[in-house]
Amino acid sequence: MLSNYAFIGIFAIAAITFPLLPLILSRFIRPRRPTPIKLSTYECGLEAMGDIWVQFKVQYYLYALAFVVFDIETIYLYPWAVAYGQLGLFALIEMAIFLLILVAGLVYAWRKGALEWI
């Protein structure tokens, strides 16, 4: 059973090793003689000001929210599509109702202006 997924595992290990190995290797090989100029963030240009914690607008949250709702939709759509041949017309109607209810939510968010870019 597990051997079916061995390729994915090997692929994942290779994908992790590939960027990590040069980083680790260079850490041991490189000479270390820091000067203030070498340690500056940019070679040319302005130093970054303020904190890295900038506040995002709440609109971004609403986009992410719409994304989550339709992500959930896909996890039901996928098995439905795979088994569509065995399910028949009834399942089509059921899925249409499901989608309509979710689209109603999207229309609400849209009308409310939640998806407007500001």
Residues that bind other proteins (CB under 8 A): 1-2, 5, 51, 53-58, 60-62, 64-69, 71-76, 78-80, 82-83, 86-87, 90-91, 94, 97-98, 101-102, 104-106, 108-109, 112-114, 118
Based on CB atoms, which residue is closest to other proteins, 28 or 53? Answer: 53
Shortest Cβ 3–other proteins spacing (Å): 10
Based on CB atoms, which residue is closest to other proteins, 2 or 46? Answer: 2
Shortest Cβ 104–other proteins spacing (Å): 6
What are 68's two structure tokens?
A: 């989550």
Based on CB atoms, which residue is closest to other proteins, 10 or 104? Answer: 104
User: Angle of helix 89-111 relative to helix 58-82, nearest 10 degrees?
Assistant: 170
Q: In 47-85, which positions are buried (b, 16+ CB within 10 angstroms) versus exposed (e)?
A: eeeeeeeeeeeeeeebeeebeeeeeeeeeeeeeeeeeee
Distance CA 58, CA 62 (A): 7
